[in-house]
Structure formats: C-alpha cells, structure tokens
Amino acid sequence: MDKKGILLNHKSIRSFLPRIVDDSIIMKIFNAAIRASNTGNMQLYSIILSTQPKVKEDLLPLHFNQEMVKRAPLVFTFCADINRFNKWCKLRNAKPSYDNFLWFSTAVTDTILAAENAALAAENAGLGICFLGTTMYNAEEIAKVLTLPKGVVPVVTMVAGYPAKPTDELTERLPYQAVVHFERYHDYSDSDIEKYYSELEKLDKMKNFVQENNLENLAQVFTNIRYPEENNNLFSKKYLDFVKKSFRME
Ligand SMILES: Cc1cc2nc3c(=O)[nH]c(=O)nc-3n(C[C@H](O)[C@H](O)[C@H](O)COP(=O)(O)O)c2cc1C
C-alpha cells in the first residue's frame, strides 16, 4: 500500500507547467473519486472539471484572483448534490426529503471524501494539487458560472497539473499526539497548548509572518489577517443563505 509514499508526502502545489494532462490520467482521477466511500451509496456529489480558459477566467475573481485557477490545466469544483438523486426519486414515485441540514452535511461529507480520493489519484499520477476553500466564500457566483441547478452547492475546488518546480520540504503539522485521543477526548490544558503550538511558533517563517504584520504572535496572524472576524461573519452568512436557498431548507 502507498508504495510511492503519496500519503506521507503530500504538499500543496500552487504553480504549474503549461503541460496538458492526458485524458487517461483524468479518467484515473474520476474513477478514484467515485470509488470513495459515500453515504448509502447515493453519491451525493457532482464534480465539474473546467479546462477552458474562458471558464477559468470567470472563476478566477471568485477565488480572489488566486493565479493557480488560471494557470492550472485542471480545475475541479466538487459540489454537494441532491439534485440528481431527487430527480431519480421523483421519476420513480418515491418522495425525497433531503432538503435539510442533515442531508446537506451528508452530501458535503460524500463530496469531501471523493475530493480527497481525486487528490491522491492525481498525486499518484505525478500531478500536484491544491485545494481552494474560496469556493464556499463565493459559492452562489461560482454556481452561476458553472450553471449549477438548485440542490447543487459548490464545496471545494481542486486545481491540478504538473508542478512547475520540484516539491520542496513538506508543510509543518502538529504532532499526532496533538490531534489523537485514546478512548476518550482529553481536553487540552494550557501547558498542552503551549507544548503543541510553540513548535510552530518557533519556525522562522512563522516569526516572519508575525513581524511583517506587526503583530504580537502567530495566533493573531490567523485571527487578524488570514481569517478576520468581519470576513468570517460575512462569508458564513453568504454561504448559509445560498445553501438554504439551493437546498430549500427552512
Ligand atoms: C478545504 C481547503 C481549502 C484550502 N484553501 C486554500 C486556498 O484558498 N488557497 C491556498 O493557497 N491554499 C488553500 N488550501 C491549502 C492549504 O493551505 C494547505 O493544505 C495547508 O496549508 C497545508 O499545506 P500542505 O497541503 O502543503 O501540506 C486549502 C486546503 C483545504 C483542505
């Protein structure tokens, strides 16, 4: 299993060669995505692959002009989808009742599992990938560009292509002890938090983020710069409003 070490060597790639990806690789990505476990084998997701410059240009501003959307040969938008399943139920005189929060969450779970399988298949084929969470920030606008019907909500985007440069060192992680709990959840003491996060805080690149932004510490880089309160509140409301409209939840 994992002879190439794909699982332990993932690193997000954000710049790509202008090299076309063969259809046989794209098929491997699709087939890996649909092989993922999913709720009741209902596969409550759809995958939109965008390769045309015009579509990618339309998507670019909706991803806050992250250049990789334009430069990557493949842009996959993974969507939670109850539309297809509802249509099947209605055609077969079965009454669907999936327009609620439980089933949105279920569809998101299926979607994310398919997306990660796609990512692993892409990396296994020598491609680099990066996920984009900006999909949730502008989901309604992205849905318009991709002509998504009601019941189909964009969840996450993945760009993929041949990496422009060799992968450098892996991105840091918390140690497994920080995220794994045996038998029951053992809540974190202040000293646990100190222990787990101080390693991150000591890294030069993290110290630079703090200095460049004139802040006191790394946590403030997240709360004040990367994911500030006003954006969190704005985009959370925007996404929830769209999901409610699309899934007709009330
Ligand atoms: C749901 C999700 C959303 C992400 N959104 C972005 C994004 O909008 N822009 C970006 O450059 N990277 C994005 N990333 C990549 C993460 O920043 C990256 O996975 C994380 O920093 C760990 O680095 P690594 O993937 O190189 O190990 C996203 C990753 C995930 C899983």
Is 55 part of any domain?
yes
Is 12 part of any domain?
no
CB within 8 Å of 48: residues ≥ 6 apart: 76, 77, 79, 146, 148
Q: Do 64 and 123 fall within a single domain?
A: yes
Q: Do 125 and 186 fall within a single domain?
A: no
State pTM to two decimals.
Answer: 0.97
Q: What is the mean pLDDT of the chain?
A: 96
Check residue 1 and give its pLDDT.
Answer: 61
Q: Which of 7, 10, 113, 131 gets mutated to test ligand 1 (max ligand atoms within 8 A of its CB)?
A: 131
| Six token digits for residue 246 | 């699309």
Q: Do 29 and 106 fall within a single domain?
A: yes
Q: Do 97 and 203 fall within a single domain?
A: no
Domain membership of residue 216 as a residue range:
176-226
Ligand 1 lining (C-beta closer than 6 Å): 10-12, 14, 66, 130-134, 156, 171
CATH of the domain at 116: 3.40.109.10
- Closest residue to atom 3 of ligand 1, CA basis: 133
Check residue 249 and give its pLDDT.
Answer: 74
Q: Are 162 and 128 within 8 A, CB to CB?
A: yes
pLDDT of 113 strictly over 90:
yes
Report the relative pairing of strands 74-81 and 128-132 from DSSP bridges.
Answer: unpaired
Check residue 2 and give its pLDDT.
Answer: 82
Is 117 part of any domain?
yes
Check residue 191 and give its pLDDT.
Answer: 98
Q: Do 243 and 213 fall within a single domain?
A: no
Q: For the residues 211-239, what does the mean pLDDT come to? A: 97
Q: Are 135 and 142 within 8 A, CB to CB?
A: yes
pLDDT of 250 strictly over 70:
no
Is 57 part of any domain?
yes
pLDDT digit string, tens, across residues 38-80: 999 999 999 999 999 999 999 999 999 999 999 999 999 999 9
Q: Do 39 and 138 fall within a single domain?
A: yes
- Closest residue to atom 25 of ligand 1, CA basis: 12
Q: Do 63 and 151 fall within a single domain?
A: yes
Check residue 47 and give its pLDDT.
Answer: 99
pLDDT of 18 strictly over 70:
yes
Residue type, 133: G
Q: Do 222 and 154 fall within a single domain?
A: no
Find where tokens 């200095």 sit: 211
pLDDT digit string, tens, across residues 134-173: 999 999 999 999 999 999 999 999 999 999 998 879 999 9
Q: Do 39 and 59 fall within a single domain?
A: yes
What is the 93 CA–ligand 1 centroid distance (Å)?
A: 43
Q: For residue 135, which atom of ligand 1 is closest to its CA? A: 8
Go through the chain and tell me how many residues it has. Answer: 250
Q: Do 90 and 117 fall within a single domain?
A: yes
Query: Could you give the number of structural domains in the chain?
Result: 2
- Closest residue to atom 15 of ligand 1, CA basis: 131
Q: Do 161 and 182 fall within a single domain?
A: no
Distances (CA, A) of 240 to 158, 243, 245: 22, 5, 8
Distances (CA, A) of 197 to 16, 177, 182, 202, 205: 32, 12, 20, 9, 14
Burial level of 237, CB count in 10 A (0-12/13-18/19+)?
exposed
Q: Do 104 and 144 fall within a single domain?
A: yes
